[in-house]
Amino acid sequence: MTEVPSFQELFRSSTRSAVHLEMRDGYMTSDPSYEAWQRGLRDAIADIDPAWRPWTRLVRETVDRGVDVRRARIVSEPLSDYIRFEHHVTDGNVKAGEQVRWLPRRRATDLALPGNDFWLFDGELLLINHFDGEGEVAPTDPRELVHDPEVVKLCATAFEAVWERAVPHEDYRPA
């Protein structure tokens, strides 16, 4: 199996864009940041979990190089607790320069979507994220690189369709 570069390597090698499509209603509920949020800690995410600081630094560094960093989330409404947590912590992503939009799932019915979440770098390299049924990172082969132009095109088209319809973070009011 081919070694998958780290997120840092993928971000630092991108020159134009890094876009992310999320379609699940829950991820890694064992995450200490999420657990702290569930206990009522609503401070800045970096205060809850300092591990997030490298992520926001990486986003800022990437955006400062002129790379467009966008994330679109398809969510069920009313929101799951985990997605409420994500909404709460997204301000940090936005402050770092990431553009984030939210699409209620009921508005995505007529969109053709891939079966997995992904990151697409420079419109050419696709990183597929695999999760188990509980939203935890898949125990085997959790990340997969795809270069196939047809698959890349399908995912790029899906992302742009979601992005066009989705509500910017600053305007989205969770149901």
User: Considering the domain boundaries, does residue 29 fall inside one?
Assistant: yes
User: Considering the domain boundaries, does residue 127 fall inside one?
Assistant: yes
Res 29: pLDDT: 82
Candidate from 6-10, 11-15, 62-66 with smallest mean pLDDT: 6-10
Cβ proximity of 6 and 58 under 8 Å: no
Pick the residue with more confidence: 3 or 78? 78
Kindly tell me if the per-residue pLDDT of 149 is higher than 80: yes
- Spatial separation of the C-alpha atoms in residues 22 and 156, rounded to whole Å: 13
Strands in 117-121's sheet, in edge-to-edge order, are 143-146, 125-129, 117-121, 17-22, 68-75, 99-104, 167-168
Using pLDDT thresholds of 50, 70 and 90, give the confidence band for residue 135.
confident
Q: Write the CATH number for 87.
A: 3.30.870
**Count of structural domains, the chain:** 1
Cβ proximity of 3 and 54 under 8 Å: no
User: Considering the domain boundaries, does residue 96 fall inside one?
Assistant: yes
The DSSP line for 116-128 is SEEEEETTTEEEE
Using pLDDT thresholds of 50, 70 and 90, give the confidence band for residue 36.
confident
Give the rounded percent of residues in the chain with a pLDDT score beyond 90: 65
In this structure, how many other beta carbons lie within 10 angstroms of the beta carbon of residue 134?
A: 10
User: Considering the domain boundaries, does residue 82 fall inside one?
Assistant: yes
User: Considering the domain boundaries, does residue 1 fall inside one?
Assistant: no
Using pLDDT thresholds of 50, 70 and 90, give the confidence band for residue 48.
low
Quote the radius of gyration of the chain (alpha carbons, Å). Answer: 16
Query: Please, what is the average pLDDT of the chain?
Result: 90
Mean pLDDT for the stretch of residues 89-113: 95
What residue numbers bound the domain in which 60 lies?
Answer: 7-171
User: Considering the domain boundaries, does residue 2 fall inside one?
Assistant: no
Q: Which of 7-11, 56-60, 102-106 has the highest mean pLDDT?
A: 102-106
Kindly tell me if the per-residue pLDDT of 55 is higher than 80: yes
Kindly tell me if the per-residue pLDDT of 66 is higher than 80: yes
User: Considering the domain boundaries, does residue 132 fall inside one?
Assistant: yes
Res 51: pLDDT: 57
